[in-house]
Amino acid sequence: MDQLSAKQLRDKIAAHRTSSVEVTKAVFARIAKIEPIVGAYISTFEEQAIARAAEIDKRIAGGEKLGQLAGVPVAVKDNMCTTFGTTTCASKILANFHAPYNATVVEKLLAADAVIIGKTNLDEFAMGSSTENSGLKQTVNPWDTKRVPGGSSGGSTAAVAAGLCYAALGSDTGGSIRQPASLCGVVGLKPTYGRVSRYGLVAYGSSLDQIGPITQTVEDCALMLNIIAGHDTADSTSVDEKIAPVVDYLAKLDEPVKGLKIGIASSFNAGADEQVRKAIDEAIKTYRNLDATIVEIDMPHLDYAIAAYYMVATAEASSNLARYDGVHYGHRTREPNDYVEVYTKSRAEGFGKEVKRRIMLGTYALSSGYYDAYYLKALKVRNLIRGDFVRAFEKCDCIMMPVAPTTAFKIGEKVDDPLKMYLSDIYTIAANLAGIPGISIPCGFDDKQLPIGLQILSPAFSEEKLLRIARMYERQTNWHKKRPLI
């Protein structure tokens, strides 16, 4: 596939130098060829997408002013509700679930005249770091098909990396956008909690979940955020724009941040693989050359982030996933002996191992007698971590660290060791607990030619600045232009 970014493609379509139908067909041709290897999609909508592309072409030909993504083929993670196709969350329990409504972000993509071509694979209910927990299919890393794409938005990141769409949406509860973006060598942004509506995103950990873009470039990321950001009356936790205005994230994207101060927590970063550390150091050197200064910061509570996360997220998940009981929709066991078995068997048959593990963990954490020791304690830790960031950002504009401790690992390598798998998210989880935005941008490769991501975190609702900081680096490097040879 050509190396056009989503924005370049949009401009080309708008300039009549290509048509949406032409590029949509090309994407599907590539999907026909490569998707059997990559396995990024749970469902695709070829006929519907080409029809929509034709309609957009017609409107463009008619001189109509179209939306910001007019004619661009994009993908959506399969935990966001669409009235077309299924919304499976990569779970057997929802394998045939047809949502009666569109998620707010889906409505926004459609309003921007994007062409939604398919829904991407994920770890079941977004629980995982490798997309291996999908109950429906396996997605591989386009850079090395024996390796995982990361997760849980592994389908979206693999699709963008492999040129199976021009941009995608993912969701990030503990790193599920940034970590797979890093492992697949694409850009992934987790916006501030409340920046993007969660309405229609099938909940995992409601106080942590946030939808964000997965793109080839920082510029595309800004473009996508322009489309999806904003208050939604259907989501009480989306932020009032009077308090945190949405700006045009593209407008000043190319303006470097003057006197940039970068916070580094050296001791915390020490846990990462040597090649990863080296790439991060190099990236920071690049910023230094752009006159940035480095500030050592102290994040005393970061070591507790994973523990706190697995209490908060699983507690919320145990409640959020209670509704999948076979009574109202979704998988129902064939022959229950009584009504209690409708619940127990449907759930036993429908959920995968990791989902069950987290439901049990969360149920335990919320049980009377344990609530204070686990859930409440976790909330306290969460507040301390929030405090760490507030104090850190008094000294710096952003914090840089690895996205993941390693590059893409082999399929099957960690599936039997959940704790090892949980450590994949050690650098990403804190941002979710604190609610702050974080971005992963390509910053190099290891000796196996596997991509490495640089993570940049910034204060709540400072996405504009965060994207400008990321863009400063992108303009100096070519990592983001590299594509897997698949």
Partner 1 sequence: MSNVDYKVLVGLEIHVQLYTRTKMFCGCELAFGAEPNSRVCPVCLGMPGSLPVMNKQAVEFSMLAGLALNCQIPSFTKWDRKGYYYPDLPKNYQISQYDLPLALNGYIEIPAKNGSFKKIRIRRAHLEEDAGKNLHTAGNFSQVDLNRAGTPLLEIVTEPDMNNAAEVRALAEELQRIVRYLGVSEADMQKGHMRFEPNVNLVITRAGQQFKTPIVEVKNLNSFRALENSIDYEIGRQLDRFLETGETMEMGNKSTRGWDDAKEVTVLQREKEEAHDYRYFPDPDLVPVQVNEQWLNEIKSRLCELPSKKRLRYIKEYGLSDYDAGVLTNDRPVANFFEEAVKAGGEPKRVCNLLTQVGLKLANARGCAITELGPKPDDIAQLAKMAQTGEIGATAANTILEEMVKTGKAPQKLAKKLNLIQKSDAGELEAIVDEVLKSNPQAVADFKEGGKKSGKAKGFLLGQVMQKTKGRANPKVAAEILDKKLA
**List of residues contacting partner 1 (CB under 8 A):** 79-81, 87, 89, 94, 97, 99-101, 103, 198-203, 205-207, 233-237, 315-316, 318-319, 322-325, 327-329, 339, 343, 363, 366-368, 371, 375
Token digits for 12?
């080309």
For β-strands 210-215 and 167-172, DSSP reports them as antiparallel
CB of 100 to partner 1, least distance (A): 6
* Catalytic-labelled residue, pool 19, 130, 156, 176: 176
Tokens (6 digits) for 331: 């998988």
CB atoms within 10 A of CB 379: 15
Burial group, residue 278, by CB count within 10 angstroms (0-12, 13-18, 19+): middle
Minimum CB distance to partner 1, residue 210 (Å): 12
Report the Cα 344 to chain-centroid distance in Å. 31
Strand partners, 262: 294, 398
Smallest gap from Cβ 363 to partner 1, in A, equals 7
CA dist list (Å): 80 to 73, 153, 178, 344, 427: 17, 12, 18, 26, 25
Number of neighbours of residue 207 by Cβ within 10 angstroms? 17
Would you mind telling me the total number of residues written for the chain in this entry?
A: 486
Write down the least CB distance from residue 114 to partner 1, Å. 19
Q: What is the residue-wise DSSP string for 349-394?
A: HHS-HHHHHHHHHHHHHHSTTTTIIIIIHHHHHHHHHHHHHHHHTT
- Written as one letter, the residue type at 434 is A
Q: Which is nearer to partner 1, 96 or 293 (CB)?
A: 96
- Please give the backbone phi and psi of residue 292, each rounded to the nearest 5 degrees, phi first: -75, 150
Alpha helices in 143-273 (DSSP H): 154-161, 178-184, 218-228, 266-269
Q: Which is nearer to partner 1, 235 or 349 (CB)?
A: 235
In this structure, are residues 316 and 207 in contact, taking their beta carbons and an 8 Å threshold?
yes
Nearer to partner 1, 32 or 234 (CB): 234
The SS3 assignment for 253 reads coil
Residue with tokens 């500030």: 295
Cβ proximity to partner 1, 98 vs 137, nearer residue: 98
**Active-site residue flag, 77:** yes
Compute the distance between CA of residue 161 and CA of residue 482 in angstroms, rounded to an integer: 9
Nearer to partner 1, 177 or 399 (CB): 177
Nearest to 80 by CA among 211, 207, 267, 191: 211
Between 101 and 445, whose beta carbon lies closer to partner 1? 101
Q: Hey, what are 112's tokens?
A: 């921007």
CB of 173 to partner 1, least distance (A): 12
For residue 128 the two structure tokens come to 């995982």
Q: Is 176 a catalytic residue?
A: yes
Residue of 38, 45, 73 lying closest to 166 (CA atoms): 73
Q: Amino acid identity of 196?
A: V
User: Rounded to the nearest whole angstrom, what is the least distance from the CB of residue 101 to partner 1 in the complex?
Assistant: 5
In the complex with partner 1, the residue whose CB is nearer, 42 or 72, is 42
Catalytic residue among 7, 77, 119, 465: 77
- Decide whether 154 or 330 has the Cβ nearer to partner 1: 330
Closest CA to 225 of 260, 251, 262: 251
Give me the catalytic one of 152, 197, 238, 440. Answer: 152
Inter-residue contact 399 to 264 (CB < 8 Å)? yes
Min separation Cβ 75 and partner 1, Å? 18
Q: Which is nearer to partner 1, 191 or 330 (CB)?
A: 330
CA–CA distances in Å: residue 248 to residues 226, 329, 383: 6, 40, 31
| Amino acid identity, position 104 | T
Active site residue ranges: 77, 152, 176
